[in-house]
Structure 1
Amino acid sequence: MPLEKQKPWHGIGVDVGANLSSREMLYKVKLDWEVSKIPSQRPKSYANQETLRFFKGFFEEGNAHIETIGSLDTSRILWGLARLNEDFTLKGGDEVKGYLLLASRNESREKIEVQFIIVRESCYNILQITSDAKPHIKNIFRRSFKPTFPFMNQKAQKFDDEMKRKVNKIFVQGREAISTFADDARILADKEVDETMAWRFMFDVFQPETIEDVSTIGPKELEELAENKTKLAIEAFSQAPGQELQSANMTAWGLLNAVTYTADHCLGANRDSRLRQAWFGPNAKLKKRALSLALEL
């Protein structure tokens, strides 16, 4: 297993800054197809412009610092990541930072997905944080085409008071959720585990249907029954970046991060598919299950 320490979006996302306009961001990530000579791509350029304009306005309204813009699945998913300054540090100097992820899918550019996530600095693992915030919000900048000049319906390109209230409520709820998770993380960092508990935990996460009651089977038997993904997670538990820290060394926090490391850095055919599965696919649910099981230890 490659014990890499790179952001899961390395090579996919492009670093940007709040000083750039939405159009400049679009050029930087090479998603402005307005200059393309391919007619079928021209409408997409408008959608991307409107999406990034909304991302920028949303982040700025919530005092979040935009860091990265990127695309997935051959540009079908456009996403933006912003720092919340909602961070915490566990014992041993284990730094965790809070982020807001916005995403727009090609089939429904009007609907913006909203996720609050944490990123562990020692290994760049990602975990989506459950909050009371609405998981979607309408892109009010999205315009529709008309058959007559000027061909696009004109809409206001700024947030009104109602939209500002919605955005601020989402940010408050998301920040509260990250603060609550920080307390859970400290509890997990104080829970000591052993090798047998680690094997049983990984089976519960990755192979819950294999054995009805893993508590009756020892680690040697479990190793024989383990699938590759389970073995990768066990290896990550002791060898992945950050696992040597006091907060993670033979603790429930270490188990959770072994799962997130495996999902974010090892599973999937390539970096694009890993990130899609980690943010929007089955591995996002897998990590939620791991968190729930870790808290039950």
Structure 2
Amino acid sequence: MLSPNNQPHQGEPLTFPAAQAALLTPYLPPPPPPSAAAGPSRDDEDEAPAGSTHSPAVHVTLTYAHSLDASIALAPGARTALSGPASKAMTHYLRARHDAILVGAGTAVADDPGLNSRLLSPRPVVLDPRGRWAVHEGSRVIRTAREGMGLAPLVLVGHPAAVVEERRRVLEAVGGRYIVLEPRAAGGRRFDWADVLAVLRREGLRSVMVEGGAGVINSLLAPPGNALVDSVIVTIAPTWLGQGGVVVSPPRTAAEDGTAAPPVRLTDVKWCPLGEDVVLCGRIRR
């Protein structure tokens, strides 16, 4: 059956049983209020809801698939299928439960993803500090938006000069746009996660599903970014990709006295078998 209260846009029915969806519910953002059923608005209130752990109030779900040796791809830029059919159905369900889906420029360049869902589609967000993503008329996410099968992306760039006029016209023609945000992390090479979430909140987006790639995931798992993560959902595929793969492994950090900081650990852990895969759900221990 389909996820509760949603129907696919077109094509074959998407199968994700309600019993499996219920296992994930504690780790997902709450459904929007009835007044927001038509989608997030940029005119929404900026107040954080009660119980929010950070401000602005954006629920952050970090989710990705990796092999038994923690690799998400065979090599940089290599598209690598890991999830089985049941896990892929779960991904569409998860996307439908968030206002936005976020990836880095490397994923956009390498995978040419559609960044949509066969259920209710989220707003794609691409982090592109250096303007690497040469979006064009044939980009899958643009075709998807043009055909009414998904929303057009917001692309965050680090400087106005990174916005190429032809790319801007392509984005705006389908309802997307560039947003300039100063990179303040990693020596000015990456965006500060608090700044990114502030942009999303101003756009009326109350939840975001962060999917990749490895640089984005590793930076979000490292402090101070991991303090902003509300839940982690990882699909583990029964395969080894071998040495040389693209690995999820956040950098080690040190305490104020120079000793190694405690490792990042999940709590409220739940393991959910899905076909041949296993899905790990949890929250980062504070």
TM-score (norm 1): 0.24
Higher RCO structure (Cα 8 Å, ≥6 apart): 2
- Structure whose alpha-carbon radius of gyration is higher: 1
Q: Which has the higher helix share?
A: 1
Normalised to the residue count of structure 2, the TM-score between the two structures is 0.24
